[in-house]
Amino acid sequence: MGSIYLDHHATTPVDSRVLAAMKPFLETHYANAGSSHLAGRRIRKHVATAREQVANLLGCGVGEVLFTSGATESNNMAIHGVARRSQCQGKHIITSQIEHSAVLFACQALEKEGFEVTYLPVGKDGIVSPGDIKAAIRTGEEGTTDRTVLVSIMGANNEIGTIQPIKEISKICNEASVVFHVDAAQYIGKIPVNVKELGADLMSFSGHKMYAPKGVGGFYFNSASKRMPCIQPIMHGGGQEGGLRPGTLPVPMVVALGKAAQIASSEQEQHNDKERQLRDWLWSSLRSNIEGLKLNGSIEHRLPGNLNICVSGIDAELLMLRLGNIAVSTGSACSGKSSAPSHVLKALGLSDKEAYASVRMGLGRSTTKEQLEVVIKEFTDSVQKLRKLPSLR
Ligand SMILES: Cc1ncc(COP(=O)(O)O)c(C=O)c1O
């Protein structure tokens, strides 16, 4: 068997139907969507179709979807855009300790501009407590750090796959009139989502996590929300996407995202069922083969394709090397180069040693039982061999 890809949280392959849909827009339909000639008008129809496909996946109106380059940009747009627009109301932001760096670093940048940020802890299960959010919301003097203007909590975690209680958090933010943003990069396109039922004001999502290419994503904003101030644009230019995300629309990428959203709308549940069954089987097989395995985060509130386990007595980097053609990971792809232990695992209460011994596996649409049989065998053999070596950390 060739290589086995178990890193679908880092990125997913482009679906062949998505590739086929975008190809004409690279080859022949290359007019600028902003042009007023016939070719430009024709392109605009395809952009409108893509927006409709994404809106259908989200359960929102077409006017509530903006295209961006991905979730990093959408997160920055939301956090900086709301903070700048609302600073005369307040300068306090709430987020969690297990957010992606695109949220954490955007918040840290605002701290340098005089905002105060509360980084809420999570339980051992990797879930943020809605009660903690309620207690952290400040209603003090306007224009100061005594008043909260934004809560930003991820939909699902990229390392441990835990799914946050978004609906409950929305309710709390609604009651307190605080804007609620969700980093939904690992959530939208991975599990069924209806943004209106969830009730958040803003959500960021990413194409390459849902079988579209890297470099495209989007942003949902609830046009009916009373607590939503306008977002101040963080970029300036030609006025595309309502002036919030100026720049020539990357039409092939937008068409690809639309197609990926359409596929996710119709196939997601079936893929989820298969991934969940395979993941549960993988977990029970590994547990019966290897002693001293511990699951990081809740099994119940978890993405169907995610497994993140601590393998006592090994170094996960060495395990990855031994696994060779089996692509698993030791944390998020973004902090993969850092030698620091995962901030997510540390927030769950793991020691450095336990964090360094943890491995993430992300199953996807093309994962098969035959592949996992190989993974179970190789994983078991490698752990047994590594446990015989003296510890390096
Ligand atoms: C939770 C989360 N947020 C944001 C991002 C950044 O997304 P993008 O690569 O589209 O910028 C990622 C990607 O790893 C992610 O997992």
pLDDT in tens, 135-148: 999 999 999 999 99
pLDDT at residue 333 greater than cutoff 70: no
- Closest-CA residue to 185 (of 303, 40, 18, 269): 303
**Pocket lining for ligand 1, CB < 6 angstroms:** 70-72, 100, 102, 154, 158, 183, 185-186, 206, 217, 334
Q: What is the spatial distance between Cα 25 and Cα 16, in angstroms, rounded to a whole number?
A: 15
CA of 176 to the centre of ligand 1 (A): 28
334 given a catalytic annotation: yes
What is the model's pLDDT at position 334?
47
What is the model's pLDDT at position 236?
92
Q: Decide: pTM greater than 0.85.
A: yes
**Model confidence pLDDT, tens digit, residues 215-253:** 999 999 999 887 777 889 899 999 899 888 999 999 999
Lowest mean pLDDT among 97-101, 282-286, 332-336: 332-336
Q: Of the listed 60, 88, 107, 334, which one is catalytic?
A: 334
**Model confidence pLDDT, tens digit, residues 245-262:** 999 999 999 999 999 999
Q: What is the spatial distance between Cα 178 and Cα 229, in angstroms, rounded to a whole number?
A: 10
Q: For the residues 165-187, what does the mean pLDDT come to?
A: 97
What is the model's pLDDT at position 2?
85
Q: For the residues 369-373, what does the mean pLDDT come to?
A: 98
- Closest-CA residue to 87 (of 236, 222, 226, 232): 232
Q: Please report the atom of ligand 1 found closest to the CA of residue 157.
A: 1
CA of 194 to the centre of ligand 1 (A): 20
DSSP 83-119: HHHHTTT--EEEEETT--HHHHHHHHHHHTTT-EEEE
Mutate to test the pocket of ligand 1, among 72, 163, 203 (most ligand atoms within 8 A of CB): 72
Residue nearest (by alpha carbon) to ligand 1 atom 12 = 185
Residue nearest (by alpha carbon) to ligand 1 atom 15 = 185
CA of 159 to the centre of ligand 1 (A): 11
pLDDT at residue 392 greater than cutoff 80: no
Q: Please report the atom of ligand 1 found closest to the CA of residue 72.
A: 11
Lowest mean pLDDT among 327-331, 350-354, 374-378: 327-331
Q: Are 222 and 194 in contact (CB under 8 A)?
A: no
Domains of the chain in sequence order: 4-12+267-388 (3.90.1150.10), 16-262 (3.40.640.10)
Q: For the residues 297-305, what does the mean pLDDT come to?
A: 96
How much is the mean pLDDT over the chain? 95
Q: For the residues 188-200, what does the mean pLDDT come to?
A: 95
Residue nearest (by alpha carbon) to ligand 1 atom 7 = 71
At residue 331 the predicted structure's pLDDT band, cuts being 50, 70 and 90, is low
Going by their DSSP bridges, the two strands 179-183 and 202-206 should be labelled as: parallel
At residue 336 the predicted structure's pLDDT band, cuts being 50, 70 and 90, is very low
CA of 206 to the centre of ligand 1 (A): 7
Q: For the residues 22-34, what does the mean pLDDT come to?
A: 97
**Phi and psi, residue 290, nearest 5°:** -125, 130
Q: For the residues 321-341, what does the mean pLDDT come to?
A: 78
